[in-house]
Amino acid sequence: MTDSESRRKFLKGSAIAATAVGTLAAPAIAIAAPVTLKMQAAWGGGIFLENAKSYVDRVNAMAGNALQIELLPVDSVVKTSQMQDAVHRGVLDAAHYVPAYWYSKSPVASLFGTGPCFGWSSQEVLGWVNYGGGQELFDELMANLGLNLVSFFNSPMPAQPLGWFKEHITDASQLKGLKYRTVGLAADVLLEMGMSVVQLPGGEIQPAMKSGLIDAAEFNNPTSDRDFGMQDVSKHYHLASFHQSQEFFEISFNKKKYDGLSDELKAILRYASEAENSNFYWHNTRRYADDLVKLQTEQGVNVYRTPDSVMEEQLKAWDVVVERISAGDEFFAKVIESQKAYAETVMKYLNLNQPDYKLAYSHYFG
């Protein structure tokens, strides 16, 4: 063997040995297990559970190995009425629901999505939440109630239908004495209009109407109503109403758990919620429209637009309810004034600027 060959053999052996030593000496890098958050939804199935899953999927895709949300359907751990308390105590890490489901703690909760209509839609209410002081007022409400929660709002919903009745409603006088299902402050408004109000979970509405426990009902939209089988207990469906005309979802996290997350993960939870705003509108609007057609053409449902005279009576009832609650609740009055100030300015611009889309629709489709 030549000196050159001996040198190459020596260098090769040294390199292999060094690699082996380096491999043995390298410290093991621990890969942290992902944080898992258990989120219960207020929905057992249907389009709202799809919406909850869409939010969870966005978070899981962006957070990767750092965080994963496990979505649980309704009643998996606690009843819907107990969800907020369960998140507060840490029994659940998170909840997907609407503020109207816990407004019994404070009527102010209903102002976040199911309050009076000041000429605005749910889109503008979310604008108030994010850019009109609404989020700060909500955080103040959480502090006043001593709740260990952080909440995000998303998915501005179309106005809810007045709902399902045994006859065509053409005048507000027909509503007096009817036993009707709704939730939140809408219950106070319709009581003011002479109705008898029952608050029931979504899955109990159709059986209650079928058995005669209630005479009329609303839930939220044509898709959910069709899934519940409302077309089997009524053939008179009234769209448009001011009783719940600007609702959206609330996603609540246990504050202690949330505060323990990195800033990056907190940002993912927040911005995934914002992203759901657009996705909800695109996804749900088409489904609602398609299912309304099916209710008419396949299930023989008569669909009406609620008369303006009925909605004018709703606005009068809202005035009475808001004045009554404001007189005894300074914080409620404070939130109402904040909402009015935002709506007056923003809707003045929008009402002046937006063309009459119905005029264009009629031009092309009659």
Q: Which residue has the tokens 């709704």?
A: 182
- CA dist 287 and 301 (Å) reads 17
Segment among 8-17, 80-89, 128-137 with least mean pLDDT: 8-17
Contact call for residues 187 and 251 (beta carbons, < 8 A): no
Whether 280 shows a pLDDT value over 90: the answer reads: yes
196: helix, coil or strand? Answer: strand
Contact call for residues 222 and 295 (beta carbons, < 8 A): yes
Whether 60 shows a pLDDT value over 60: the answer reads: yes
Contact call for residues 216 and 178 (beta carbons, < 8 A): yes
Contacts 24+ apart (CB under 8 A), 97-104: 97/41, 97/42, 97/249, 97/250, 97/252, 98/42, 98/247, 98/248, 98/249, 98/250, 99/184, 99/250, 100/183, 100/184, 100/185, 100/186, 100/244, 100/247, 101/42, 101/183, 103/183, 103/184, 103/185
pLDDT the model gives residue 202: 83
Q: If you average pLDDT over every residue of the chain, what do you get?
A: 92
Contact call for residues 220 and 157 (beta carbons, < 8 A): yes
CB-CB neighbours of 160 under 10 Å: 23
CATH architecture of 163-245+299-365: 3-Layer(aba) Sandwich (3.40)
Q: Reading across the β-sheet that carries 179-181, which strands appear in turn?
A: 196-198, 179-181, 216-217, 163-165, 236-239, 302-305
- Greater model confidence, 255 or 23: 255
- The 10s digit of each residue's pLDDT in 164-186 is 999 999 999 999 999 999 988 99
Give the residue from 95, 211, 223, 214 showing the smallest Cα distance to 153. 95
Q: CA 181: distance to chain centroid?
A: 19
- Across residues 83-90, what is the average pLDDT? 97
Angle at 188 between CA 185 and CA 317, to 5 degrees: 105
- Across residues 276-302, what is the average pLDDT? 97
Whether 2 shows a pLDDT value over 80: the answer reads: no
Does this chain's domain 35-156+247-285 share its CATH topology with 163-245+299-365? yes
Cα end-to-end distance, the chain, whole Å: 98
How does residue 11 score in pLDDT terms, banded at 50, 70 and 90?
A: very low
Contact call for residues 311 and 241 (beta carbons, < 8 A): yes
Quote the percentage of the chain above a pLDDT of 70: 91
What residues contact 296, with CB distance under 8 A and at least 6 apart? 302, 303
Contact call for residues 262 and 144 (beta carbons, < 8 A): no
CB-CB neighbours of 78 under 10 Å: 19
- Across residues 230-247, what is the average pLDDT? 97
Q: What are the structural domain ranges in the chain?
A: 35-156+247-285, 163-245+299-365
Q: Which residue has the tokens 């009659």?
A: 366
Whether 8 shows a pLDDT value over 70: the answer reads: no
- Across residues 96-110, what is the average pLDDT? 93
CATH architecture of 35-156+247-285: 3-Layer(aba) Sandwich (3.40)
Helix axes 330-353, 134-145, angle to 10 degrees: 160
- CA dist 364 and 366 (Å) reads 6
